[in-house]
Amino acid sequence: MASSSNAPAAAYGRPGPGEALEQVSVGVFAVDDAGRIVWANAWALELLARSADEIVGQDAHDLLHRDSRGRPLTRDTCARTRELLSQRAQTDRAWFPRGDGTLLSVRWFSLPYEPNDQGMTALIAFHPTEPTEHPEDDAARPATHSARALSERERLALLADTTAQLINNLDVRESLRRVVELILPRLADWAVIDLITEANEVTRSLVVRARAGGLEVHEELQGPMPPVPETSTMPLSKALRGAASTVTGPETYEGPPDSGIAVVQRRLFKATGIQTAAIAPVRGPREVLGALTLGRTSRDEAFTTGDLGLLEDIARRIGIALENARHYQRQRQVAETMQRYLLPQLPDLAGVEMTTRYLSAPDASHVGGDWYDAFTLPCGDTALVIGDVVGHDLEAAAGMAQLRNMLRAFAWSQDQPPHRIVETLDEAMGHITDVRMATLILARLTAEATGRWTLRWASAGHPPPLLVDHEGVTRYLEEGNGILLGTASARPRHDAHVDLPPGSTLVFYTDGLIETRRQPLDAGLERLRRHAASLARRPLDSFADQLLERSRPTDNDDDVALLTVRIPRATA
């Protein structure tokens, strides 16, 4: 979330590396935009023979970059330092000095990482390789993708590549596509991935063939599969039940089928021309998630049991990635359901129109903190609220509920101006909620005896409301600003006041509508203002729909809450 341009912003971002990276069998560390190490997994510490205290906070170049004789590399001759900070995926070979004084020959891979409150901007995965006198010479040689028998170094490199493609991607289909691109045609001519859904149904999710011009997806061979019977002894059925990997071929399925899934598998061999196949279960930390099948069309390149170890390692990495993706999807569904349940019904006001919109974040880890509210006060005024709790997921959704209910109670029970209610909320928040920080606007909409409508509001670090008159003239209501909630600041808060023109529209929103990684915040505010002006005379529902569609950034990764209020045109 972000504050308006003239209010302090709360710094936070995508969560840092977690359990998934502690389970991978490669070293992983993260660097900030200055190249300092800010985090490392346990395997990295073991490979480097160092403790976390010895490497966290250290400059990655100074600590790790050496030539083959252990001599430090100057920054102007070290291409690796420039690559680490280039925000592009990179791979290279290097020598890393260990804590015991020895040198470790490694291959490393860097991936950009969404900047967050821990300062991480890149992840670097590395694994040991066979020492060479000049590892940079090996890196300069193009890898061959046609060889089927891989050296130990190539096997390790393939596993590291697979891990690197999976660790920072929660899109299941995209993850599988990337892994298949690494496998084909290096290991096989065909790759088939069957997944077990959370409803315990089997789906043939991906069937891909390696061709001269690239990979070819065969959608006609994909789709739902028959159930997996407990009694079936066929290789795919056993793999989908979690049995050990195996080598098989079309002859296995030539006899009478023992299940519907065996019939589908016979058709696969016939349609693809696969003559030899290796099948491995895809296991997550807690359950079997599917099976990975690699197929070759030449009997002269038959799989052997010696090939199964590599296949199992790849399948294991896929399983961890799938489990992680499913976890985030479940989290997204629960958080989104909870959030929608907590968002309120709008009050009926004579002559005043109100409508709201809520769009969840595309990334499951970014759902949860945005909310709106509107309710009638005992004096007849209407309270309008827009807010954003720092954080994501269920924790933010729960914090949002706590904050919303407290604000309702304070506003209802205390006939105080908005800034005093916000002060009371800020004082109480740290003592009786789990919310660390939040931004919000509390406004009070009043129908004056003269027939005019007025708005009095206070802002706690939130983007300013937008006022659009009936002719499309716009202005941001930037008065009434104060620091965000949770800072323990004694800085006084104050209200702002405005008379609302007849037929005007008030727009309250959260920062997901204006914030983008590629442009400054002012560009998002200008984009919102321009589109709101062009939509001024639209019916309010159409106004809200079109404003979301036109203003929301294409690279938005946050949820969006929107509250719009239209004042009656008649003043009598």
Q: Where does a domain end: 303, 334, 365?
A: 334
Given a cut of 50, whether residue 245 has pLDDT beyond it is: yes
Token pair belonging to 20: 């998934």
For 161-165, 468-472, 545-549, which range has the lowest pLDDT when averaged over its residues? 161-165
- With respect to residue 174, please indicate whether it lies within any of the assigned structural domains: no
112-136 average pLDDT score: 66
Nearest-angstrom CA–CA distance, 265 and 57: 53
256, 134: one domain: no
Three-class DSSP category at 397: helix
Most confident listed range (160-169, 322-331, 491-500, 550-559): 491-500
Q: Where does a domain end: 334, 356, 374?
A: 334
Number of domains in the chain: 3
Q: Where does a domain end: 281, 305, 334?
A: 334
298-312 average pLDDT score: 87
274, 206: one domain: yes
Which contiguous run of DSSP H or E holds residue 21?
A: helix 19-23
Closest by CA to 97, choosing from 132, 130, 62, is 62
Whether 218 contacts 208, CB under 8 Å: yes
364, 446: one domain: yes
Nearest-angstrom CA–CA distance, 358 and 397: 13
Whether 125 contacts 106, CB under 8 Å: no
Q: Which amino acid is at 518?
A: R
Given a cut of 50, whether residue 11 has pLDDT beyond it is: no
- With respect to residue 1, please indicate whether it lies within any of the assigned structural domains: no
- With respect to residue 146, please indicate whether it lies within any of the assigned structural domains: no
Non-local (6+) Cβ contacts of 369 within 8 A are: 1, 388, 389, 390, 391, 392, 396, 397, 399, 400, 438, 559
Given a cut of 90, whether residue 116 has pLDDT beyond it is: no
Closest by CA to 399, choosing from 339, 442, 352, 340, is 339
Q: Would you list the DSSP string of 317-376?
A: HHHHHHHHHHHHHHHHHHHHHHHHHHSPPPPPBTTBEEEEEEE--SSGGG-S-EEEEEEE
- With respect to residue 104, please indicate whether it lies within any of the assigned structural domains: yes
Question: At which residue do the structure tokens 């959608």 appear?
Answer: 219
- With respect to residue 218, please indicate whether it lies within any of the assigned structural domains: yes
Nearest-angstrom CA–CA distance, 238 and 280: 9
pLDDT, position 541: 95
**Taking the CA atoms of the chain, what radius of gyration do you get in angstroms?**
29
Given a cut of 50, whether residue 542 has pLDDT beyond it is: yes
- Reported as a pLDDT band with limits 50, 70 and 90, residue 341 is low
Nearest-angstrom CA–CA distance, 293 and 304: 14
Beta strands in 377-426 (DSSP E): 382-389
333-339 average pLDDT score: 59
330, 371: one domain: no
Whether 360 contacts 397, CB under 8 Å: no
Token pair belonging to 37: 């190490």
For residue 248, what are the domain limits? 184-334
Nearest-angstrom CA–CA distance, 10 and 25: 35
pLDDT, position 314: 86
276, 364: one domain: no
pLDDT, position 76: 59
Token pair belonging to 132: 């060479």
> What digits encode the pLDDT tens for the residues 179-221?
888 888 888 999 999 999 877 899 999 999 998 878 899 999 9
Three-class DSSP category at 214: strand
Given a cut of 50, whether residue 511 has pLDDT beyond it is: yes
Nearest-angstrom CA–CA distance, 154 and 2: 45
Helix count and strand count (H, E) for the chain: 15, 23
pLDDT, position 9: 31
pLDDT, position 168: 57
pLDDT, position 145: 34
Of residues 570 and 52, more confidently modeled: 52
- For the chain, the distance separating the N- and C-terminal CA atoms, rounded to the nearest angstrom, is 41
Compute how many other C-beta atoms are within 10 angstroms of the C-beta atom of residue 93: 22
Token pair belonging to 50: 């160092």
Non-local (6+) Cβ contacts of 304 within 8 A are: 247
Most confident listed range (61-65, 197-201, 236-240, 340-344): 236-240
Non-local (6+) Cβ contacts of 317 within 8 A are: 24, 159, 162, 163, 166, 179
Mean pLDDT score of the chain: 82
Nearest-angstrom CA–CA distance, 384 and 455: 10
Given a cut of 80, whether residue 522 has pLDDT beyond it is: yes
pLDDT, position 3: 35
540-561 average pLDDT score: 88
Closest by CA to 279, choosing from 263, 266, 292, is 292
Query: What percent of the chain is modeled with pLDDT above 90?
Result: 43
298, 365: one domain: no
Nearest-angstrom CA–CA distance, 150 and 136: 20
424, 553: one domain: yes
Token pair belonging to 119: 């300062």
pLDDT, position 513: 93
129, 221: one domain: no
pLDDT, position 497: 97
- With respect to residue 379, please indicate whether it lies within any of the assigned structural domains: yes
DSSP assignment, residue 512?
G
Given a cut of 60, whether residue 390 has pLDDT beyond it is: yes
Beta strands in 198-331 (DSSP E): 202-211, 214-217, 223-224, 246-248, 276-283, 288-296
Given a cut of 90, whether residue 525 has pLDDT beyond it is: yes
Tell me the torsion sign for CA atoms 428, 403, 556, 527. Answer: negative
Nearest-angstrom CA–CA distance, 410 and 423: 10
CATH number at residue 424: 3.60.40.10
- Reported as a pLDDT band with limits 50, 70 and 90, residue 77 is low
85, 206: one domain: no
pLDDT, position 316: 85
Which contiguous run of DSSP H or E holds residue 264?
A: helix 260-272
CATH number at residue 51: 3.30.450.20
Three-class DSSP category at 300: helix
- Reported as a pLDDT band with limits 50, 70 and 90, residue 356 is very high
Compute how many other C-beta atoms are within 10 angstroms of the C-beta atom of residue 198: 10
- β-strand partners of 276: 296
Helix axes 418-432, 393-413, angle to 10 degrees: 130
285, 381: one domain: no
Given a cut of 50, whether residue 278 has pLDDT beyond it is: yes
Torsion angle of alpha carbons 27, 111, 177, 140, nearest 10°?
A: -80
- With respect to residue 4, please indicate whether it lies within any of the assigned structural domains: no
Nearest-angstrom CA–CA distance, 362 and 353: 29
At residue 276, φ and ψ (nearest 5 deg) are: -145, 135
104, 217: one domain: no
Helix axes 393-413, 308-342, angle to 10 degrees: 10
Three-class DSSP category at 80: helix
> What digits encode the pLDDT tens for the residues 21-41?
776 778 899 888 888 999 999
312, 220: one domain: yes
Of residues 399 and 494, more confidently modeled: 494
CATH number at residue 231: 3.30.450.40
- Reported as a pLDDT band with limits 50, 70 and 90, residue 459 is very high
Query: What percent of the chain is modeled with pLDDT above 70?
Result: 80
- With respect to residue 10, please indicate whether it lies within any of the assigned structural domains: no
pLDDT, position 4: 35
Given a cut of 80, whether residue 96 has pLDDT beyond it is: yes
